[in-house]
């Protein structure tokens, strides 16, 4: 446990953002090699794969951790393992996920699976880059992940602030949403703020668009289809006495079904164009789909729940948690391979994810390792046909 906490704090102090995780990947690969695993680096840019075979079983499962940090300046100036890299920090707990998966690899490689028999088959440990970008798992897939290794099932886990350490939650079916991004470019005719009658004000048009977008979820979508449309940036080229010629409105959309995503895009395009025209301005929408929904398969989810009950106790396990509107890059692998994604508590007093005060709770490392090891025993049992 102390060694895992040391790994975690080292990673926390040395964060790297998506597709820049070169030192992190080297650290991970070095530890895995020390455990005696077969290691492949540079998968999808900075991804790492390690494989451990035990017995003669032909089945293989994958366990995944994400390695990237966020472009956030860390708070908590008194924290001993505070980020040494300005403007970058592990504000989502990927340092903890990586350390826990390293601890799992070490335990399984040493045959010290806490208190159970060894497994029969192959475990692949996937350390992926750029989860926050929503591009890292796809990069690994594009780089031949599923041609390099055979995977029957895949499993991932994420810490959850607000839930007690050791509390486990998952569900069958959709557990995390798709994420789409948009940018609306509103064009007018800029000039002196004292002569608005000579201009076409894109700020006025843009503000009207922002207000009108609130009707998309409230009035244009079926209430039984969860969705979120959020404006997150309003950017201009103006200054105190200058009305700009261009305004850019950026935002984020969440949904569960492709049909809802398509409806949101159509509504944004219609509202932006019509509202801008009503203000004698123009508007162009750029719309991209960043994450797909994370969907858990029934069989692997039942296995995840069995393993969690074995490792953590039945009272700590929620098998029908509410889905959340956040998104997860692991979804790209689950679209190719059946598996499960779950949450484990980071403490009731934990700061929220993506917050400058956030820190992964080292006490959550052991429950994560216990769960993963129990899962391996469940899915790759000795004596299975």
Q: How confident is the model at residue 117 (pLDDT cuts 50, 70, 90)?
A: low
Region 163-170: mean pLDDT is 98
Evaluate whether 342 touches 170 at the Cβ level (below 8 Å).
Answer: yes
| Confidence band of 384 (pLDDT split at 50, 70, 90) | low
Task: Choose among 70, 144, 137, 26: nearest CA to 353.
Answer: 70
Q: What mean pLDDT, rounded, does the chain reach? A: 96
The predicted structure's pLDDT at residue 116: 47
Residue 385: pLDDT band with limits 50, 70, 90: low
Give the mean pLDDT of 37-51.
Answer: 97
CA–CA gap between residue 90 and residue 81 (Å, rounded): 11
Confidence grade of residue 112 (pLDDT, cut at 50, 70, 90): very low
pLDDT at 115: 47
Residue 131 falls in the annotated catalytic set: yes
Q: Which one of the listed residues 21, 66, 131, 132 is annotated catalytic?
A: 131
From 301, 281, 291, select the one nearest 342 (Cα to Cα): 301
Lowest-pLDDT choice from 41-55, 110-124, 133-147, 358-372? 110-124
Q: Which whole number is the average pLDDT over 179-192?
A: 97
Report how far residue 269's alpha carbon sits from residue 263's, in angstroms, rounded to the nearest whole number: 10
Mean pLDDT of 220-240: 95
Strand pairing category for 38-43 and 47-54? antiparallel
Q: DSSP string covering 110-157, please? A: TT--SSS---SEEEEEEEES-TTTT-HHHHHHHTTHHHHS--SEEEEE
At residue 38, the 3 state secondary structure works out as: strand
CA distance 217 to 126: 37
**164 pLDDT exceeds 60?**
yes
Out of 68, 153, 179, 267, the active site residue is 68
Of 118-122, 141-145, 177-181, 188-192, the poorest mean pLDDT is in: 118-122
Cβ atoms of 381 and 61 within 8 Å: the answer is no
DSSP string, 241-308: TEE-SEEEEEEEEEESSHHHHHHHHHHHHHHHHHHHHHTT-EEEEEEEEEEPPEEE-HHHHHHHHHHH
Q: Domains plus CATH for the chain?
A: 2-173+294-379 (3.40.630.10), 178-291 (3.30.70.360)
Question: Is 252 a residue of the active site?
Answer: no
Mean pLDDT of 298-312: 98
What's the rounded mean pLDDT across residues 148-164?
A: 98
The answer to whether residue 322 scores a pLDDT higher than 80 is: yes
> Residue 285 has what pLDDT?
98
Question: What pTM does this model have?
Answer: 0.93
CA 310/CA 158 separation, integer angstroms: 19
Closest CA to 229 of 189, 277, 178, 274: 178
Per-residue pLDDT band for 58 (boundaries 50, 70, 90) equals very high
Q: Is the pLDDT of residue 111 over 70?
A: yes
Q: Can you tell me the distance from the alpha carbon of 189 to that of 246, in angstroms, rounded to the nearest whole number?
A: 8
What is the distance between the alpha carbons of residues 30 and 74, in angstroms, rounded to a whole number? 27
């Amino acid at each position: 446990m102390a060694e895992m906490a040391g790994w975690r704090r080292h990673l926390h102090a040395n964060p790297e953002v998506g597709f820049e995780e070169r030192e992190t990947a080297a650290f991970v690969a070095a530890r895995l090699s020390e455990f005696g695993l077969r290691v492949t680096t540079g998968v999808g840019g900075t991804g790492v794969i390690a494989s451990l075979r035990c017995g003669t079983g032909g089945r293989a499962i994958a366990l995944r951790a994400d390695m990237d940090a966020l472009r956030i300046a860390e708070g908590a100036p008194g924290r001993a393992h505070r980020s040494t890299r300005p403007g970058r920090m592990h504000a989502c707990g990927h340092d903890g996920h990586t350390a826990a998966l390293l601890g799992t690899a070490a335990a399984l490689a040493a045959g010290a699976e806490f208190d159970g028999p060894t497994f029969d088959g192959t475990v692949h440990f996937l350390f992926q880059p750029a989860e926050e970008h929503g591009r890292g798992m796809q990069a690994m897939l594009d780089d031949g992940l599923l041609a390099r290794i055979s995977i029957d099932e895949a499993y991932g886990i994420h810490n959850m602030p607000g839930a007690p350490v050791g509390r486990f939650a998952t569900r069958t079916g959709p557990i995390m949403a798709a994420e789409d991004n948009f940018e609306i470019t509103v064009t007018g005719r800029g000039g002196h703020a004292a002569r608005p009658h000579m201009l076409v004000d894109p700020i006025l048009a843009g503000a009207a668009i922002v207000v009108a977008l609130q009707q998309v979820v409230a009035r244009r979508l079926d209430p039984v289809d969860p969705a979120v449309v959020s404006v997150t940036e309003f950017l201009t080229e103006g200054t105190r006495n200058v009305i700009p010629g261009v305004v850019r409105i950026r935002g984020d959309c969440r949904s569960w079904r492709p049909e809802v995503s398509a409806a949101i895009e159509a509504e944004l395009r219609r509202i932006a164009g019509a509202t801008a025209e009503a203000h004698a301005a123009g508007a162009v929408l750029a719309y991209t789909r960043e994450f797909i929904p994370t969907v858990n398969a029934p069989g692997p989810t039942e296995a995840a729940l069995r393993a969690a009950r074995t490792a953590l106790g039945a009272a700590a396990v929620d098998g029908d948690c509410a889905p959340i509107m956040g998104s997860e890059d692991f979804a790209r692998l689950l679209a190719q391979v059946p598996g499960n994604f779950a949450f484990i508590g980071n403490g009731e007093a934990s700061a929220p994810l993506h917050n400058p005060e956030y820190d992964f709770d080292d006490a959550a490392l052991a429950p994560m390792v216990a769960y993963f090891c129990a899962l391996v025993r469940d899915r790759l049992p000795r004596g299975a046909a």
